[in-house]
Structure 1
């Protein structure tokens, strides 16, 4: 707000007068009526106390009280009065004195007076008198009369000065202070020139400025600069006080018409005007018309804005295209390709920082029935609503994917297993509460986390998928965590496989016996000793595996043992067939055969279970977690632990060109000595029991002249028979056993024919799983003995007790 010169001068004069009166009062030139009142009250209290003392000397307390009553009635400003003895008791009091006096003393009131009462015997007590305080309210600073005086001075002096100053300043012409030659020089300028004083009033203006604003020079003189309709974002009237404009370069000011439209745009340069003492007196301003330039600039800005809008539109279009390329159009969830890209990024972050990461698989129960019964349009609606619920239930950091068909996958970074399970349960309940016109839905959910040992994103997703399988097998409409799933659970991957297309599993057909035979023949051709070693190790491994595994897994372990040295086909003959001990460099080359063997098996059979047995069979049971050995203990596949023991035992008891095999007892002692560090201690004891039961017995009953075709045919039939027993299919088992019996009789293998006949006689289409497993083991033993006879080995299976169903409630996977 702008304050005029008249107001400022008037305020200064009035303030000076008020200050003079207050100063005079403070030094005593003007009497203070409050002080006089206090002095008079003190004298009055002394007089009253003298009269009261006279009455007290006469022992006339009653008369003293009447005297106090009379005194109180004569003084309107008296509040209370009391006569107190030296012991503190009041002899008389007027006006509830005791309570009022205590409060006044606490508040340090200036109206309290105390006068001692003297008698001939000494001090009798004291007289307490309380008046209205004089230093209170506005009288605390100045007395009431002084306030009245100040009010009169302010009104009278202020009014007189205001009227007089307005008359005086009205006749002053600031333009006369500027010489005429200066005004003429300013008129010759091409720019509009204005000089304003401290009040922003125009004291000088040239003709160019007057023409630009459309006014006469004389009309502009004495008016405020801001009375002209300006618009500026850089300077405004509120800033027009002394020194506010100062020095400016290129400041933009717009001249407006009566309707607020811009007429002219000026570039303003300003500089302060100072007197001889350097004091600020005003501002000289130069106005340059830049309207054409600004209009061109505005047009350029409009063009840039159009370009910006076009860029924004392109960006938004690209975002839409990206959204369409990464989203499933039906459910608005991301597609599978984008899901795995983001999964990989989150996985790397978890590995680097250790933050929690969980994955969830969601499968709508009986979705095919919905499509078949209510049509695909209703199925699409179910999928759409399911996707909507998943997106609403999960957080913004979670990744929701339509994995395929009625399956969804959810990635939850930053959540531990408990929190992820809670989210899964919330989703399950939400889906079950969905209402469709003629039906409701449920879902099975599986949850896994990075902390549960997954080696990569696909492995972690497979864990959640395994949980999904368990949920469906247990009745559906439930949430299963991977840490609650038995480690020995076997999943039928052919029904619920969700692996990437590039990956394969052991689902579907098992390991072809013909392919195993072909690879073993190639290895035996290179090195007959290695082939014989593989045959013996497979027999040991199969006998031990029968104690704890299902027939199907025993078959996989046996095939893994047969092919565990297949990588030696890539070892040079000079090293592989060397009669003496190998050098350190030769051992390094020899150790490469494990990696070569794993690659051969992986590409030949696409069976992670078989590959894992060979890959991990050199891992130490009590090893430490490191780059060379990422798992240990029971995390090593059980098939690999079995192979480790069988391979080590045969290596110790077999003869080599450069050494003789150690005695069986010493080999057993060596196994036990390294149990818990190199070998699984439980499996070692089982293996020792098998060996001590008489594993090395001569073979006298089998002919060594069976043709390759016979061996291959029987091996393939036994392979299918084992699968039937493992799945509990009694009908198929009996059919395959009958076919095996016919093959054995035709090929003149009486021992195998007898075993097959016995299996047919004791089993039926409704045979129990325990009986099928037992008979499958008998046929495996007979077939294995025949194979060993064919290769000239001396290992036959002893009579051992077969495992009961109690021992294999859910067959342990050899992984």
Structure 2
């Protein structure tokens, strides 16, 4: 069994004290009562002998016996006493003297005395006295008083030393002593380091820890770790005021001040301290002050929470903007693009579930005369009230669309042709009852149904449009059903169809409008700038294709132009939105996604003509400086690809880029002529230049002046993606998106957003911390809020281009 250091030191001190007393005793410095006791016994014996001698001289042995009894009474340590004649006869005895007396012990045993008695100068006998031995047992070595002294000193010194040493050895235990050089190393640590024993008392603390808790190292030694105002987190089953026993790894501890407020936060790593035998002796703990980090973390979490709220707000507002983007701003009816998307859904449902579906075309009679006579503002009011009436009179699941000009289209799922006719008649009557200041209006209506043999949604609209034609030819203000139109009239009027005839549609697979709009919507959400470019290119391609192609081929070319950049949906923001010219590696990456775009179109439409137009639109007409992958050129390149090459290049030349300004139309025309015959088809190039110089593109070239709704939607979508980049800590995408936002703001002349975006680009780099990105995001959000505040909801309609002035001319 191993004895503790405290016990060994305490025992040593006691033994030193006992040894000192014994040495003093041996030196005669401490009186020995046994010597005095022996002398006193001798004197008693002499006194007794004098009395007994007198009794013997008087021959009064009886009196001598009484003297012996009195002597025995007065001396409890007396064993026996006797009077013996010189002849050996024992004449008087007290106690069991005859049995206990041993002549041989006389002079050899402690406590035996013999005193000679004489009578008239002659030896009469002797007195034999036997006491208890003084030097027997424990008294043989140490006197009783000395033994008591030694016991008292041992107990007193032992208790006092144990209490004193126990306090001192709390931090002076040799097992925990630390060399000075080790202390110097510990004091050089920036982290606070302490060692606690098994009772959680601090036995070692470096200067950093003392500074953390606001005490000196001396004050900390021997004090309990519980005495400090700790709060512990991330420790299971532990209260906020109790330190967990044993070893705790990865604990976070908070130090409170006198008011209970958190003063410092520490990350604590702990390790057990073991002795040479592997027994647990305490814990070494390292304290790292993470107060600034935790406070920054809390601030960042708070900021991210605010950013999340702002992001939700932006998302909600973008949803509202998308709702506005699906509506005609004048009539609040859905726009044509959304109408066809919903039409495809209802058509599929009717096809798969055999649910009735009817379509209605509504045309306001003599609307051009209203515009000419009363002005476009009155025409707008007629359209507004007509849209409100149609929305009010139709069912919740009906779809009301401002189809174009003064035309409206209505889908009525779940109604057969008879019910649709009744609904159309009610609408006609209500429209004729509408009152305006100086005139009334009437309307012609045509209806058709899924059950009447239409092969596609556009076919059913064409049927309703033919009914509309019949209604107008027969005097207007009436409802015409498609199944009542003469068959020969259908054949004679097939040219009015807005799409290709059924015979031509069988040549190649159809191109569903819903699929086109779905892909274009994805491209718009991915990059609004690219979508606007594609929309302009589609318009230019349609104008040029009308010079040389049939209507069905014009539609294919127009679709190809609208989707020729669909592969960019997979290009990272850092490349797609890069504010300077791309390098060779990035161009190679873009070419890869051009090929992906071709595959998207191939699998989405399975129309080889459409696919080839997009696939070969980068081919050069003259074959000069062609890449090795170009296997043909000239007239062998599909004509749609040659058209797309010209209009795509033209729009790229006249449009601004992050790294350059767009050139003027005159310069772009000159560049087209310079590259005519080498890069571009010379004949098609001249056709296109004629279109440009005739002014037919003037409206399209000015289409950058968008409505406030388009501005808000474009900027809102970019802000939403920019906030996501900040939330993800993606500095590279953040910079690219900020540059794109700046360009958009410059184009729409929104100075406050442009300035905020420029500032964000200036102070942010690709390696920026999340805090910087979040801060700049908030500044951009603030700028956008100010910009949005300057555009009232009324402006979303009042600033639109006069919509009824762009009438659809009927064939």
> Is TM-score (shorter-chain normalized) higher than 0.5?
no
Question: Normalising to structure 1: TM-score of the pair?
Answer: 0.28
User: Quick check: which has more Rg, 1 or 2?
Assistant: 2
